[in-house]
Amino acid sequence: AAPLAIVRGTGHAADRGIIMRTGEAFQTFRLVRRVVLDKTGTLTQGRPTVRAVEAADGDTAGLLALAAAAEHHSEHPLARAVVTAAEDAGVTVGQAHEFESMTGSGVRATVDGQHVLVGRPGLLTDTGVDLTGMSDWITAQEATGHTVIVVAADQALRGALALGDQLRPDAAEAVAAMRQAGMDPVLVTGDNHRAARHVADQLGITEIHAGVRPEGKAAIVRELQADGTRVAMVGDGINDAPALMQADVGLAAGGGTDIAVESADIVLLREDVHAVLDAREISTRAYGRTR
């Protein structure tokens, strides 16, 4: 049976927007020495907007229409942003068929009889799309912290979109507090390394893993655990679920997807990063009282 202190701790946590789902959340958090932080939607607000559009043939409306059609069925925040940008620009978006989502990479669909691929630059080069015509633009956008997604139709490069997201206002303070609490932060992201570096620099994080696929995030947690170190993982997406399961303490960040929530020991209902430290404090205090 759950000791009374844990029952009480669970109540206090809920008052502060923190749901404790497992006993590990209480027992292990005080021992955690590394904390793996997902970038998008965890350290950033996860509400990206389209900041720049570059069409290979100069037809930005056509490019937006194509991208929005393919992204229409995707739940990904980047996809939502593309659809919104198309709406704001007043372009007519066609119907997509045979939609398929590739977690951590992008989407594919058939639009107007064309095979459309939208996703991270590496996804397109892997399938043989030549990006050289746009590589300078991509590099320049990524250097400013933007996420670039590229659009191809029938294997031909049609253009690219650059998206930006805001840091959570308390991210830098919370990361500093994690360090002070003896938890060394590590940033992991499926996003490009330039955007990752841009965020990490603002937060004073030196260990970065960018361009990481969902299985890769779990592998990074496992590597950090190899010498017995207890590791917490904080993430919000489908792509974070394997790493949340692998971590000693998994935390689903504010507004996380259902699958992240189900994979986590602790669910943060609040959108601030400091909730991670509050969860640790509550766990530690409740655990102390059970002994």
Catalytic residues: 38
Q: List the single partner that 263 binds among ligand ADP, Mg ion, none, CB under 5 to 8 Å by kind.
A: none
Q: Between 21 and 193, name the residue whose CB sits nearer to ligand ADP.
A: 193
Q: Which helix (H) or strand (E) holds 86?
A: helix 77-88
Cα first-last separation, the chain: 14
Q: How far is the CB of 24 from ligand ADP (least distance, A)?
A: 24
CA pair distance 136, 167, nearest whole angstrom: 25
Beta bridge partners of 186: 36
Candidate list 41, 77, 185, 242; residue touching Mg ion; CB under 5 A: 41
Contact call for residue 40 and Mg ion (CB under 5 A)? yes
Q: Between 31 and 52, name the residue whose CB sits nearer to ligand ADP.
A: 52
Residue with tokens 């890769």: 216
Q: Which residue is nearest to ligand ADP (CB)?
A: 190
Contact call for residue 236 and Mg ion (CB under 5 A)? yes
User: Interface with ligand ADP by CB under 6 A: which range of 19-27, 68-76, 125-133, 221-229?
Assistant: 68-76
**Token pair in block for residue 19:** 């749901």
Candidate list 34, 108, 120, 280; residue touching ligand ADP; CB under 6 A: 120
Q: List the single partner that 107 binds among ligand ADP, Mg ion, none, CB under 5 to 8 Å by kind.
A: ligand ADP
User: Interface with ligand ADP by CB under 6 A: which range of 16-24, 57-65, 118-126, 264-272?
Assistant: 118-126
Instruction: Walk across the sheet containing 156-164 and list its strands.
Output: 49-55, 156-164, 147-153, 114-119, 106-111, 96-102
Candidate list 32, 65, 68, 79; residue touching ligand ADP; CB under 6 A: 79
The site map against ligand ADP for 196-235 (x = CB under 6 A) is ----------------------------------------
Question: 90 near 60, Cβ under 8 Å?
Answer: no
Question: 24 near 249, Cβ under 8 Å?
Answer: yes
Q: Which helix (H) or strand (E) holds 32?
A: strand 32-38
Question: 214 near 103, Cβ under 8 Å?
Answer: yes
CA pair distance 52, 41, nearest whole angstrom: 20
Which residues of this protein are in contact with Mg ion, per CB under 5 A?
38, 40-41, 236-237
